[in-house]
Amino acid sequence: MKPQEASECCGPIDDLLDAELFKALGEPTRLKLLSCLAKCGRPCSVTELTECCAVDFSVVSRHLSLLQKAGVLTATKEGRTVFYAVRYKHLTEAFRALAKSIEDCRPKRRSAKK
Amino acid sequence: MKPQEASECCGPIDDLLDAELFKALGEPTRLKLLSCLAKCGRPCSVTELTECCAVDFSVVSRHLSLLQKAGVLTATKEGRTVFYAVRYKHLTEAFRALAKSIEDCRPKRRSAKK
DNA sequence: TGCATATTTGCGTCGACATGCAAACTTACC
DNA sequence: GGTAAGTTTGCATGTCGACGCAAATATGCA
């Protein structure tokens, strides 16, 4: 069987392999922001999060916006301040589902029993 | 507590947020290659995998090499042919661990309010 | 040795993106 | 209204990476 023909042999891995999500997480500054936000355990403002990394606050603003678009964070505006928070449940479920779909693709060794 | 000071409140999320891995997965062509390889369920050669996507085989070779460096694939040379295979177990465990560390960071709602 | 197959590597090009700065925009407070 | 604080956006710059092509390398076979 050719690789490109194997389209139905396992779970919805294509839907779970989200390039936008991985691209969003594949940048050190954004990863640092996510880490700070996750460990802090509460919503933080752009200004607060700027203290986490050594870039301009405008850069932080863009990174946070991108992480929100990718489904990693939520944004809530209160007055002049925007609070970003980690989408814990969403991320946890996404990675668990991905892990399972990869696991399900793994060919089981066919020994005596099926 | 400032975001950058919250360093010990939860699991080893920093070690699990691997920029190299996410960067490797944050590219559509590489994601397609991984998907083809995972669904195929057996090791495939560079030439075979070139049929999966619309780029030159030299590009595919570079992508596969990068995916190997990132810990996504293994490479085994047999004669002139290099067979790439998905590291199912490794990826599954990595994503499960990441999911757990994110989940552990999630603040539990405190019964009485403090 | 000579040739074919499979893959890697060097190189040039082009587009995407991270960054900083300044300006614009939004909201709160006087 | 006017000013300050918080954030977003426009713009210019520099870097990185995906791509194709050609050349080089490695291996198998006659």
* pLDDT of chain A, 114 residues: tens digit per residue: 555 555 455 678 999 999 999 999 999 999 999 999 999 999 999 999 999 999 999 999 999 999 999 999 999 999 999 999 999 999 999 999 999 999 999 888 765 543
In this complex, the answer to whether residue B78 has its CB under 7 A from any atom of chain C, a nucleic strand, is: no
Gap between the Cα atoms of A43 and A69, Å rounded: 17
E strand or H helix at B84, and its extent? strand B81-86
Is A19 an interface residue toward B (CB < 8 Å)? yes
CA A94 to centroid of chain Cα atoms: 8
Gap between the Cα atoms of B111 and B36, Å rounded: 48
Positive or negative: CA dihedral A42, A85, A94, B19 = negative
Confidence of residue B114 (pLDDT cuts 50, 70, 90): very low
In this complex, the answer to whether residue A72 has its CB under 7 A from any atom of chain C, a nucleic strand, is: no
Gap between the Cα atoms of A88 and B101, Å rounded: 10
Q: C1' nearest to CA of B59: which nucleotide? A: D19
CATH among 2.70.40.10, 2.30.40.10, 1.10.10.10, 1.20.1250.20 for B13-105:
1.10.10.10
Question: Contact at 8 Å (CB) between A44 and A37?
Answer: yes
Predicted confidence at residue B31, as pLDDT, reads 98
Using CB atoms within 10 Å of the CB of residue A96, give its burial: 0 to 12 exposed, 13 to 18 middle, 19+ buried: middle
User: Which tens digits make up the pLDDT trace of B14-30?
Assistant: 999 999 999 999 999 99
CATH among 1.10.10.10, 2.30.40.10, 3.10.450.40, 3.20.20.140 for A17-104:
1.10.10.10
Question: Contact at 8 Å (CB) between A87 and A73?
Answer: yes
Q: Kindly report the backbone phi and psi dihedral angles of residue A83, in degrees, each rounded to the nearest multiple of 5, phi listed first.
A: -100, 125
Q: Kindly report the backbone phi and psi dihedral angles of residue B12, in degrees, each rounded to the nearest multiple of 5, phi listed first.
A: -80, 55
Q: Kindly report the backbone phi and psi dihedral angles of residue B83, in degrees, each rounded to the nearest multiple of 5, phi listed first.
A: -100, 125
ipTM: 0.89
Predicted confidence at residue B107, as pLDDT, reads 85
In this prediction, residues B60-86 reach a mean pLDDT of 98
Question: Contact at 8 Å (CB) between B86 and A105?
Answer: yes
Predicted confidence at residue A6, as pLDDT, reads 52
CA A4 to centroid of chain Cα atoms: 27
Predicted confidence at residue A12, as pLDDT, reads 84
Q: Where are the beta strands (DSSP E) in A4-111?
A: 44-45, 73-78, 81-86
Total length of chain B: 114
Select from B15, B16, B25, B104 the residue whose CB has the most chain A CBs within 10 Å, as the one to mutate to test that interface: B25
